[in-house]
Structure 1
Amino acid sequence: MPLHRCDDPQEWMQRAYAPAAVITQVDDGHPAGPGQRGRYITSSASQPNVVALMLNALDAATGMRVLEIGTATGYNAALLAHRLGSQNVTSVEIDPDLAEHARRALATTGYPVTVITADGTQGYPPHAPYDRIMSTAAVQQVPYPWVAQTHPGGKILTPWGTPYHNGALASFTVNRDGTAEGRLVGNVAFMFLRDQRIYASIDDNECDQTTARASHTNVAPYRVAGDYDAALAIGRKVPDCPVITVPDPAAELTGTLWFIDPTTDSWANLHYQPNTTTYPVHQSGPRNLWDEIETAYHWWRDAERPGPDRWQITITPKGQRVTLTDTTTPTGAAP
């Protein structure tokens, strides 16, 4: 249920200053459920320690010009403006209502940042080039306009992931040849850019186990869904596959993992419970999602379980290339 400041000022203040993320919008501002309840979170104020982590990784210094993608409440833009000066900060927000609210809040608090209502994937050419670009929305593919609008030697910082694994922070350095090289430098989870998000839900009518292909596996659920390094690798190998965990309310440590590709109407599930080494699997649709996941898991294991510091991301005008390197990022080197 939404909490309005006028209804309970004390509780509102406690939530606003709590060490946790605060949901500020659902369903792109049009809640689908009764009582302004929504199905999907579409904007939030980030957890304070995550804000600090990202600003530290951005490494913006006095005199630098910064483009922020995803204004949301305007809080992060205000912090950037306090450090760099409002004239050096531009923020782009795709949602008109959020943009207007942030614009007013920033002006009221003395940080008249330029807030543009536009699609952040295109950057903002009129104020380019930038020394830093910082996205507060996750991407699967880094938009090339961000690279094109950043000074050579400049930095792009963005949450980066896949529908399977949304939980990495990527830092890129822009090269003189118009490309950018990046590494993973942190563990954060953000909502995806609107044109890159994939929503999945469990429909009992469509996910009929009685007509699905049945099998078993000895790969424990936590190995493919609870291991950060494994999930990161699996997400690269198994595209368009969000994971939904449904605990059994009647039994502790028991439930079902669902893997759903809404683009092909494919799904798989795996039932888990304590003290077992064999798990029932069901699959349906043109993709055998569990088979893909299990194959990707074994590939990661056989590759000696590479961690996030082994992945390198290259952005060119032709697209994004993700490679597994032989070595980790050297200590002290630019990620």
Structure 2
Amino acid sequence: MTPEDIDRDAVPARAKLAQALADGGDLTDPAWREAFETVPRHVFVPYFYDHAGNQISRDDPATREQWFTAVHDDRSLVTHRTNGAATSSSSQPSLMAGMLQALNVADGMRALEIGAGTGYNAALFAHRLGDDRVVTIDISPDITGPARVRLAATGRHPLVVTGDGSFGWPERAPYDRIMATCRLDNIPPALITQLTEGGLILAPLGNALARIHRTGTHSAKGQFLPGGAYFMPLRRTAGDGIPSRRPELPAGKGRPSALPAAAIGDNAFRFLASIVEPGLTWQYDLDEDRKITGARVWAGDGSLAQLRPDGTVTETGPRPVWGTLEEAHQIYRDAGQPGADRYRVSIDERGQRVWLDSPDGPSWTLT
């Protein structure tokens, strides 16, 4: 397969992917469908890493066919690793399509993307809105440099900025739409101030997508969309996003856990867990049927809990992480195991809060 073969064969491959996304209900807007059919994902993902950390590349004859199939499939692909840890990726196309459509963009709007990644999403934005109406930002020049080159190779020249996405890019503000393609623990206040009066932010807040409308200079409100959304965290320095080493496991006799192992695999509960205890790192014990029988979970401050297969839990560190999760699970059960779309977000100068069903219901502060 020569470079010419790749470019030729990519045209029907993109059309096939767009049709699959449309058939699955993920790509219903004709303008965004035309963007997916036109923008060549293979240019933005010249290689990726498989689960074992092996590079699958366009330039490697041994893996070229595997690479070509993968970049035209509905798959998320790890594209950047730092010290062995995945720190950037090309998102799953169906998720990208759903997010772009959830923005409800219109001609003439200006958009800011937090998390440039490969540049592919910025290319879709630029195709839809025009180069001069799109800004994309990422923390590392190792990411923004290649993204800028790949965008230019496809004839696209949106503004690509190297910097901390939590500050946005006020030089081009205000924006009608801001979209984060990295997980946030809260909505950076600078992003709200950079919205137009009718503007909105779409961001993975915890493990689900939140669509947030500006209501004032420093205030906003919104709700979560159905389903989950799993993204790498926003990095504020080039070294961020690398998993911390697990602290030493707590020893001694455990206490009975009110949070069963089966609940850990419940995505609806895991969304609430991601709000109550953001940024946790998890490890699991699985049986022969790949059901969770035990787990270890730790926070960045060294708080750690171990759920043992006998249903007991031990904790160590400055905070009772498992106890917090147990309390959240009880609320979750009492509320009938709600999905993400039953939660809302309120933001003002006093802080940020996620609440369930009503402002007077259970709520959690975002920090």
Q: TM-score range by the shorter chain?
A: 0.7 to 0.9
How far, CA to CA, are the matches of 1:243 and 1:20 in structure 2?
23
Shift of 1:19: 1.5
1:180–1:316 Cα contact (<8 Å) kept: yes
One-letter amino acid matched to 2:286: P
2:110–2:134 Cα contact (<8 Å) kept: yes
Residue of 63, 74, 77 corresponding to 2:122: 77
How many residue pairs align between the two structures?
Answer: 300
- Shift in alpha-carbon separation, 1:10–1:240, aligned structure 2, 3 A: closer
Shift of 1:236: 3.3
Residue of 134, 138, 153 corresponding to 1:89: 134
Residue of 89, 98, 121 corresponding to 2:143: 98
| 1:267 corresponds to 2:299 | no
How far, CA to CA, are the matches of 2:349 and 2:358 in structure 1?
25
One-letter amino acid matched to 1:25: H
| 1:3 corresponds to 2:43 | no
- Shift in alpha-carbon separation, 1:197–1:318, aligned structure 2, 3 A: farther
SS of 2:152's equivalent? helix
How far, CA to CA, are the matches of 1:229 and 1:156 in structure 2?
22
Alignment of 1:149-160 (within 5 A): 149-160=194-205
- Shift in alpha-carbon separation, 1:218–1:88, aligned structure 2, 3 A: closer
- Shift in alpha-carbon separation, 1:149–1:299, aligned structure 2, 3 A: same
Residue of 231, 237, 250 corresponding to 1:190: 231
Once the two structures are superposed, what CA deviation does each residue of 1:172-204 show, in whole Å capped at 9, x if it has no partner? 11124431111101421101101485834445x
Once the two structures are superposed, what CA deviation does each residue of 1:225-268 show, in whole Å capped at 9, x if it has no partner? 122332223343345533322335x78646421121230x2221
- Shift in alpha-carbon separation, 1:145–1:252, aligned structure 2, 3 A: closer
How far, CA to CA, are the matches of 1:12 and 1:294 in structure 2?
43
Q: Which moved more, 1:286-295 or 1:146-155?
A: 286-295
2:272 match: 233
2:262–2:293 Cα contact (<8 Å) kept: no
* Stretches of structure 2 lacking an aligned partner (at least 5 in a row): 1-53, 360-367
1:207 match: 249
% same residue: 35
2:192–2:217 Cα contact (<8 Å) kept: no
* Stretches of structure 1 lacking an aligned partner (at least 5 in a row): 33-37, 162-166, 273-277, 328-335
| 1:309 corresponds to 2:341 | yes
| 1:299 corresponds to 2:331 | yes
How far, CA to CA, are the matches of 2:280 and 2:165 in structure 1?
24
How far, CA to CA, are the matches of 2:57 and 2:295 in structure 1?
35
Task: Return the TM-score normalized by structure 1.
Answer: 0.82
Shift of 1:116: 1.0
SS of 1:268's equivalent? strand
1:25–1:41 Cα contact (<8 Å) kept: yes
2:258–2:326 Cα contact (<8 Å) kept: no
Shift of 1:283: 2.2
- Shift in alpha-carbon separation, 1:260–1:61, aligned structure 2, 3 A: same
Task: Return the TM-score normalized by structure 2.
Answer: 0.75
How far, CA to CA, are the matches of 1:282 and 1:131 in structure 2?
48
One-letter amino acid matched to 1:246: D
SS of 2:155's equivalent? coil
| 1:322 corresponds to 2:354 | yes
How far, CA to CA, are the matches of 1:322 and 1:271 in structure 2?
31
Shift of 1:218: 5.8
| 1:217 corresponds to 2:257 | yes
